[in-house]
Structure 1
């Protein structure tokens, strides 16, 4: 997600700093982002040369590299303690007027804000995979957020050429809450032998004009990510979000979707 977000901002004309733990990890991140920019340019040769966008990318290994940034988007794994620690560390190096955002897909913005000194400058910017071509960003505002924060968040999303949907802080927000519920029901249908994965997905793509079906989307998101979100939503919203056994079993076997080569699909033949 971090590489995709960086790509989107570079392509939109922003100067971008990406922070990684080590120089080696930073070089790998640079290569991913540059390769992504190059592929996008190959698909759209009339746009800006990818080399220009790549020159706006800088890789850092220290939080102080964010000192001049007007916006920082945290995109570490979906773990409350990890995100809270990263956000607090970043905030200490930002200017007072800078905006801090998290890319969480389900965690409470209010909980993440508790360790911050300036929670009034914090919100959720929930991007979607693949970030460069996705047209949506979910803006999640903490309770009591003022209109200025909303306007700034909308402005950043508009700068990327994407559409903002604004929701208040609530478990799963709007997109994860609806998307996960649909995916969990698709998994239950699979368990019950209602239809094959391809047919369940085709029903939603052809019948409801979804871009991808719920099971293929789960493979793209990651089954482990979906499991974590489902468990969180079950704990906060009730048993209608209880993860099906097929999801738990696949995660236990390491079948995490596209990133592992297998999930509900075999990505050797469905990639």
Structure 2
């Protein structure tokens, strides 16, 4: 694989995140356009996009995964920044709930400290379109990756994952099965996966926003102590570091208003883009 495909995009943002938080961005697959059933991967030209924490940036291009006319996710900086901590935490046996665009599975498979990656994806057409669009067979870490067509919330998940890992428990579980960042059901559903699989550590896509709303409801500062209390209350073993607490603080400042007026939660849900592009 060419060296440029092993480097994270947005090198300046990558360096800034490393300096500020202790973790940065990650390499993404060499995508190509593909269509399977109602799922389609398409490339778009240059345009402005908003990062998860970095504000508005210009990107030279991006790929977007569509289901029919609905955009589910993309390679935008928002996606990359919101996955970054979970890529950083991956080691040993990693279980990923939701294949999506395979960005996360690709990134963690390249890490030498990751031994095995088990991806749980319910939709066979998503698996098929990403095999073609993300060039799965050509990944440098392909031999580590197993893709299970299964329901991440189903009762058969523990047995299916156990068979795929040879009986080993997950060292890290990353859940990314929701179309909305910070989905209200994400903490409880991730906690259910944690109870089923017993990982050493875990997290979900958008947990910084969930944590921020929890802090606002309790008028707590989004610091390390609050993050530990939140993890204990949700039942998800979120790794807590000073750098990650700083990242949460900055995401919350960038994405959530400073005060939550009555009814704001409902308004925020309406205003937040339902599509992940």
Name the TM-score, length of structure 2 as normaliser: 0.39
TM-score by length of 1: 0.40
Higher helix share goes to which structure? 1
- Greater relative CO (CA pairs within 8 A, separation 6+): 2
